[in-house]
Amino acid sequence: MTAIQSLAQRVANLYVTLVTPENTRRFEEFIIRLAVIFFIGHLALIFLFNHVPALYRGHHYNYLKAIYTPFSFILVYEVFLLIIILPESMTEFIAKQFEIITLITLRSFFHDIASVPMHGTIHLSDPAVLDLGYDLIASIGMFSLTVIFHRLHHRSRDHESAVIPLQNFIHLKQSVSFLLILVLIVTSSYSLVAWTSGVIDALINHSDFPDPNAYFYVDFFNVMVYADVLLLIISFLYDSSFFTVVRNASFIISTVLLRLSLSMERPTNHIIALIAFIFSVIIMAVLHLRTKRWLSPRHPTAR
């Protein structure tokens, strides 16, 4: 056993000890409690801003904006699930990314709806209304493509399970997952501090509050792209077949496109994200057709 394999096994053992179903459930309950507490707190802050003259900045805040807060905590838990899925299946890993991007898009709806004038005349040409339309259309497309991707994955799962991964590679993926958890903690803490600083500056200068979408998950997705590339390169040692390489490479391409979408303005970000979804779905569909034909009883080599 090489030094790298020994180190990977030790980190993997630590990962297995900490990331248990019981601890995952405890973390889920903790996130739900925080979501409830901060949701109520956000509603209270909106009430103060709307009724305390010293905090009033010229317009009333919409209470619907508070819905954005619990969705943010749900996203934290979803990103955590994304990390712990990595050692199990690369396909489920990319599927969870699709779910997260879909939730981020839905969360943007609650952020944008607060900018729509509820008590005035609403025009379809209003930028706030257009943003809502972009969010809704993109969410429908992303959700539909995610369902299709899951369906294709479940149909080809039997064939994928026939390939038993080596224990060394499993240890390596568990080690990468453990490091990604640490990265998530560091980047989330840094983003929270940066966003809080922006909020404080906005309160002092009576300017607009910063957009949370510009702070969270961007740095983490950067690291995740390089982690995907690392695992892809190492996977060549265990399975260098053309079709496996194409599948894994397509997943990395999708991850890169999703990362780019997080830094773009609407509707470009939605278009890039949907391209990533469509690309992976097409690759999975073609691979499924190939696998189905290859394993068909009518094929000469089928068993």
DSSP secondary structure string for all residues of 9-25: HHHHHHHHHHS-HHHHH
Instruction: Tell me which amino acid residue 7 is.
Output: L
In this structure, what token pair is assigned to residue 152?
A: 């294709």
Contact 132, 145 (CB under 8 A): no
pLDDT along the chain (303 residues), means of 10: 74 87 91 90 84 66 79 85 85 89 86 69 71 90 95 70 62 87 84 77 68 67 79 74 82 88 87 95 87 51 39
Question: What's the pLDDT score for residue 59?
Answer: 60
CA atoms within 13 A on the CB side of 161: 6
184 CA to centre of own chain: 12
pLDDT value for 11: 85
pLDDT of residue 42: 84
State both tokens at 42. 């956000």
Residue 302's pLDDT is 39
Q: What is the pLDDT of residue 137?
A: 93
Query: Please, how many CA atoms are within 13 Å of residue 105, restricted to the half-sphere of its CB?
Result: 30
The conformation of residue 296, written as its DSSP 8-state character, comes to -
| Positive or negative torsion for Cα 198, 199, 202, 203 | negative
Model's pTM, two decimal places?
A: 0.79
> What is d(CA 271, CA 142) in angstroms, rounded to the nearest whole number?
10
Q: What angle do CA 167, 174, 163 make, to 5 degrees?
A: 40
How remote is the C-alpha of 226 from its chain's centroid?
Answer: 16
Closest alpha carbon to 145 in 22, 18, 285: 285
pLDDT value of residue 296: 47
User: 296 — phi, psi (to 5°)?
Assistant: -65, 140
Domain ranges of the chain: 75-294
| Residue 302 tokens, joined | 């089928």
Q: Which of 244, 251, 246, 200 is nearest to 224 (CA)?
A: 251
What is the rounded CA–CA span in Å between residue 5 and residue 169? Answer: 9
Give the C-alpha separation, 99 to 258, whole Å.
12
3-state secondary structure at position 87: coil
Give me the torsion for CA of 194, 195, 200, 202, rounded to 10°: 120
CA 233 vs CA 225, 237, 248: distances in Å: 13, 8, 10
Amino acid code (one letter) for 187: T
* Integer angstrom CA distances of residue 6 from 58, 83, 96, 128, 179: 62, 22, 30, 55, 16
Q: What is the pLDDT of residue 122?
A: 66
Residues 6+ apart with CB under 8 A from 12: 170, 171, 172, 174, 175, 178
